[in-house]
Structure 1
Amino acid sequence: MKKCLNNGRLPELVSELDWYALLVPPQKEFAAQEILSKRDIATFCPFQSVWRKPSRYSKDKVLKHYPVMPRYLFAGFAGQVDWYRLFQMPLVSAVVGVAGEPRCFDNMDAFIRNFRNGLRRPDHDRHMPTHREFGVGDTAVIVDSALAGRHVVVESIDKGHAFFTVEMFGGEMRLSLPTDKLEAA
């Protein structure tokens, strides 16, 4: 029975287990999580989801998951832990402890509740330039159109379009542009 908790499955196990932070190689958190889960060890890796281009030649973005705590993976054990067997598993380098003794986390259920489904960026970020995302209430600069270079305050975002108010022709006009035509100021 697989006990992988990164998607919020089996939350009833959280309070029954002793949770330890394991140190794994960089960028191998999800691989180590899969290996431990296949060996019936409950695991949890807090992650954030962001929209990124798979390559510089692609226009579309895909949702990528990145660990919130790089190199750390949480594992839950019931009863005595066989450390010797654990350290023989691939990708497990060390366990976090104090004075050479592994130390379990007391309030793991609250921690998992905060990151149950990961930290996810809004869907409208998918249509914005990478690292130049903006949200409602943020100031953005128009980069492409007849209004290029003008700073606007984003009032709402809907279906890939940002709505804002611009003073034109002696009055205020509510306009919209595709979100890829604006960048964070």
Structure 2
Amino acid sequence: MARHEKFAPVDWYAVRMRPPRASRRKVRAGCIFETYRARDGSRRQRAVPQTGREEFVHEMLLRRAGFEVFVPADRVWRRPNRFSEKVLVANPLLTGWMFVGSRGGMEWGKLVEIGVVDIMGSAGRPMRVPEREIVDLMNRFGGGRLAPEAHRYMRSYSEFGEGDEARVAVGPLDGLDVRVVSVGGPSVRVLISLLGREQEVEMPAHHLERRA
């Protein structure tokens, strides 16, 4: 994507996907991965415990297709089972519905291919949702799971190159200084120092900010 396109306005629309119950299913995405050496001597990767975030399945599918996505959610205390303590769980406010954004024009055909079956509109025409309303909804109904998306959408981030010094801006490693080892599309590999040793981990580029 050209640099000027990254900062172009986002056109937002409310869409509904099928089946509606699937909108509550979640996956874990955005985990940080570390490289380790297996017993056979090969180099492998594994997810760092307690990293990543929960995403709704529909949200993940749309984001992987290149769309900006926002699912308004509330957080409620629930007990997974009678032997467990209560935990905060995010649930979508509008079952099956979410907001999808795109820079430079919406790709309606791609939305249909992914599973969008309805688009909120008027007189048979899709109705664009003003950005200021989306930002307000993000602030009110982020559901405690907005941070990475909000940082990507609500603030711009600089591109990084090999050897650049950076600082983690979101997530469990927030505030940690790192050095960029390599860049691959929207992800970067960085060198971090944890527990007295250095290791390479992979994370989304928008989790980083340049060091002052």
TM-score (norm 2): 0.44
Superposed CA deviations along residues 109-159 of structure 1, whole A, max 9, x for unmatched, are: 22222223549xxxxxxxxxxxxxxxxxxxxxxxxxxxxxxxxxxxxxxxx
* 47 and 118 in structure 1: CA distance in 2 versus 1, 3 angstrom threshold: farther
Partner of 1:28: 22
SS in 2 for 1:93: strand
Number of corresponding residues: 106
Q: Is the 8 A contact 2:74 2:142 kept in 1?
A: no
Partner of 1:18: 11
Note the 1:19-168 alignment, pairs <5 A.
19-24=12-17, 25-29=19-23, 30-55=56-81, 57-90=82-115, 92-106=116-130, 107-118=133-144
Q: Is the 8 A contact 2:16 2:119 kept in 1?
A: yes
Output the amino acid matched with 1:40.
Answer: G
Q: 1:79 deviation in Å?
A: 2.1
Output the amino acid matched with 1:27.
Answer: R
Segments of 5+ residues of structure 1 without an aligned counterpart are 2-11, 120-185
**Superposition RMSD on alpha carbons, in Å?**
2.5
Counterparts of 1:59 and 1:78, CA distance in 2: 44
Counterparts of 1:117 and 1:53, CA distance in 2: 18
Counterparts of 1:59 and 1:36, CA distance in 2: 33
Q: Which has the larger radius of gyration?
A: 1
SS in 1 for 2:90: strand
- Which structure has greater strand proportion? 2
Superposed CA deviations along residues 50-108 of structure 1, whole A, max 9, x for unmatched, are: 111113x4242222111122221101111222212210113x22111111111111232
Counterparts of 2:127 and 2:112, CA distance in 1: 16
Counterparts of 1:20 and 1:76, CA distance in 2: 6
Q: Is the 8 A contact 2:14 2:98 kept in 1?
A: yes
Q: 1:35 deviation in Å?
A: 0.5
Residues 28-37 or 104-113, more deviating? 104-113
Q: Is the 8 A contact 2:76 2:90 kept in 1?
A: yes
Q: Is the 8 A contact 1:42 1:75 kept in 2?
A: yes
* 32 and 82 in structure 1: CA distance in 2 versus 1, 3 angstrom threshold: same
Output the amino acid matched with 1:19.
Answer: W
TM-score (norm 1): 0.50
Counterparts of 1:66 and 1:80, CA distance in 2: 29
* 85 and 59 in structure 1: CA distance in 2 versus 1, 3 angstrom threshold: closer
Counterparts of 2:144 and 2:97, CA distance in 1: 15
* 83 and 16 in structure 1: CA distance in 2 versus 1, 3 angstrom threshold: same
SS in 2 for 1:112: helix
Output the amino acid matched with 1:71.
Answer: G
Q: Is the 8 A contact 1:46 1:118 kept in 2?
A: no
SS in 2 for 1:58: coil
Counterparts of 1:112 and 1:75, CA distance in 2: 13
